[in-house]
C-alpha cells in the first residue's frame, strides 16, 4: 500500500509542497546531484516536493516605474527591483529559473543593459527570489551582497534551509561581501540603508532610501514582510533556534518605519495590480500608500501572535492526551 505524502500549503508561495521525510530528501538530493551542473533546479524541486510552481511566477510583466529611479522589472507576481544611477544599477531579487531573460527584456525596454548592474541584493534566500542570481552575476559581473545569516543558504543553493532544505532549490551563488543592519550601500547617487528583518528566513533584509521627484521627497522601502510559511514553527519545536525572537525584532523595527511608498518581494503582497494597470502612465503618487504599510505590518504581527497561541494550545492538548493515557490528572 502506498501512502500519499502529507501536503503542506505555503501561503505566500501560493502553491503546495509535499514534504517528504529526511531520508527521502537525502535520496532525492543524491539522485539529482548526479545529474551535474546543468540540472534544472526548478524541475528537481517540483519532483522532490510533488508540486507545480504557480503560473504567475513565470509570467512576465512590463517594467514599471515605481517612483523616480526605482523600477519593478520582475514578473507578474515575483518582483525584481532595479535602482538606477549614472554609476550603474542595483538589482534586488530575481525570480525562478528563466527570470533573467525576462529581467533583461524589461531592462532593454527601459533602454538599460544587464551589463550595467553593479550590485545584486536579495530580500530573502528562497528560490523564488534567488534562482537566477548566479546567472545574472555571471552576465553582469555584479557583486552579490548579503546578510551573514542568509549567506550560507545562497552559497549552498538552499540546501541548508531549515524549512525546505535537503535539496538544492536554486543554483548556488557566491556572496562577495556581507551587509548588516544600518549599513548604507552607495552607488553613484544611490544611498540604500540596510534593515535586517529576520524570521521569514534567518537573514531576511529590507532596504530604505529617500527619492526626490519633482521637488518632493519620498521615504521609500523595499520591505521583506514577516510572512510565516505553513509548516514553520515559532514557539514549539521552532523551525530554527531563535525564530520567535527574530520575528519580534522584525515587527519592532517595521513598526518604527513610516514609508510613503513601499514595495515587497511579491507584487501581490503590496497590492501592485490594484495600484497599477498595464500601460498606465507614470504617476509618482500611484504607489503612495503609508496606511497600507501600517496595516500590512499589523496583519503579519497578528498572524504571528495567533501562530504562537495555536502552537501552545496544541502542546497543551498533546500533554493532556498523554496524561490521560498514563492515567494521571
- Cα–Cα separations (whole angstroms), residue 274 to 67, 185, 269, 277, 307: 16, 31, 11, 8, 28
Domain CATH code at residue 31 = 3.60.15.10
Run of H or E residues at 223: strand 216-223
Sheet strands (E) in 39-127:
64-67, 70-72, 81-83, 89-92, 117-121
Distance (Å, whole) CA 292 – CA 30: 45
- Predicted confidence at residue 324, as pLDDT, reads 63
Other C-beta atoms closer than 10 Å to the C-beta of 279 total 6
Provide the 3-class DSSP secondary structure of residue 212.
strand
Other C-beta atoms closer than 10 Å to the C-beta of 225 total 25
Of 74, 113, 116, 67, the C-alpha closest to 96 is 74
Using DSSP bridges, classify how beta strands 15-18 and 64-67 pair: parallel, antiparallel or unpaired.
unpaired
Flag whether 38 is in a domain. yes
Q: Which domain, by its residues, includes 249?
A: 7-55+63-318
Flag whether 82 is in a domain. yes
Q: What's the chain's Rg over C-alpha atoms?
A: 21
Flag whether 2 is in a domain. no
The number of distinct structural domains making up the chain is 1
Other C-beta atoms closer than 10 Å to the C-beta of 297 total 20
- Predicted confidence at residue 327, as pLDDT, reads 62
Flag whether 323 is in a domain. no
Flag whether 1 is in a domain. no
Flag whether 160 is in a domain. yes
Contact indicator for 130, 122 with CB cutoff of 8 Å: yes
- The per-residue pLDDT string of the chain (329 residues; one tens digit each, 9 = 90 and over) reads 322 233 334 344 443 333 333 333 333 344 334 333 467 999 998 998 888 999 999 999 999 999 999 999 999 999 999 999 999 999 999 999 999 999 999 999 999 999 999 999 999 999 999 999 999 999 999 999 999 999 999 999 999 999 988 999 999 999 999 999 999 999 999 999 999 999 999 999 999 999 999 899 999 999 999 999 989 999 999 999 999 999 999 999 999 999 999 999 999 999 999 999 999 999 999 999 999 999 999 999 999 999 999 999 998 887 877 656 666 55
Contact indicator for 192, 207 with CB cutoff of 8 Å: yes
DSSP state of 237: S
Distance (Å, whole) CA 118 – CA 112: 13
Flag whether 281 is in a domain. yes
Using DSSP bridges, classify how beta strands 205-213 and 190-196 pair: parallel, antiparallel or unpaired.
antiparallel
- Predicted confidence at residue 17, as pLDDT, reads 39
- Predicted confidence at residue 321, as pLDDT, reads 74
By the 10 Å C-beta count (0-12 exposed, 13-18 middle, 19+ buried), 192 is classed as buried
Whole-model pTM: value is: 0.87
Flag whether 73 is in a domain. yes
Amino acid at each position: 500500500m502506498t501512502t500519499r505524502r502529507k501536503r503542506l500549503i505555503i501561503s505566500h508561495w501560493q502553491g503546495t509542497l509535499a514534504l517528504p521525510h529526511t531520508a527521502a530528501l537525502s535520496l532525492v538530493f543524491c539522485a539529482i546531484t548526479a545529474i551535474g551542473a546543468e540540472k534544472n533546479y526548478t524541475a528537481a524541486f517540483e519532483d522532490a516536493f510533488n508540486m507545480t510552481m504557480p503560473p504567475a511566477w513565470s509570467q512576465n510583466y512590463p517594467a514599471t516605474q515605481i517612483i523616480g529611479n526605482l523600477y519593478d522589472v520582475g514578473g507578474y507576481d515575483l518582483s525584481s527591483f532595479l535602482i538606477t544611477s549614472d554609476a550603474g544599477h542595483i538589482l534586488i531579487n530575481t525570480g525562478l529559473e528563466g527570470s533573467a531573460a525576462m529581467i533583461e527584456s524589461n531592462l532593454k525596454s527601459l533602454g538599460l543593459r544587464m551589463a550595467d548592474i553593479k550590485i545584486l541584493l536579495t530580500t530573502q534566500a528562497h528560490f523564488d527570489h534567488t534562482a537566477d542570481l548566479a546567472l545574472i552575476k555571471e552576465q553582469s559581473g555584479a557583486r552579490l551582497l548579503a546578510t551573514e545569516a542568509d549567506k550560507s543558504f545562497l552559497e549552498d543553493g538552499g540546501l541548508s534551509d531549515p524549512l525546505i532544505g535537503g535539496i538544492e532549490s536554486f543554483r548556488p551563488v557566491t556572496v562577495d561581501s556581507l551587509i548588516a543592519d544600518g549599513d548604507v550601500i552607495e552607488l553613484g547617487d544611490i544611498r540604500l540603508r540596510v534593515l535586517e528583518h529576520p524570521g521569514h528566513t534567518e537573514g531576511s533584509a529590507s532596504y530604505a532610501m529617500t527619492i526626490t521627484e519633482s521637488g518632493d521627497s519620498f521615504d521609500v522601502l523595499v520591505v521583506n514582510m514577516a510572512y510565516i510559511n505553513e509548516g514553520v514553527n515559532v514557539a514549539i519545536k521552532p523551525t530554527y533556534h531563535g525564530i520567535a525572537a527574530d520575528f519580534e525584532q522584525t515587527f519592532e523595527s517595521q513598526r518604527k518605519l513610516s514609508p510613503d511608498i513601499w514595495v515587497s518581494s511579491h507584487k501581490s503582497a503590496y497590492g501592485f495590480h490594484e495600484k497599477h494597470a498595464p500601460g498606465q502612465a507614470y504617476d509618482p503618487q500611484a504607489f503612495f500608500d503609508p496606511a497600507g504599510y501600517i496595516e500590512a505590518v499589523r496583519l503579519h504581527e497578528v498572524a504571528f501572535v495567533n501562530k504562537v497561541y495555536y502552537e501552545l494550545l496544541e502542546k497543551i492538548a498533546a500533554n493532556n492526551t498523554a496524561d490521560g493515557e498514563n492515567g494521571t490528572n
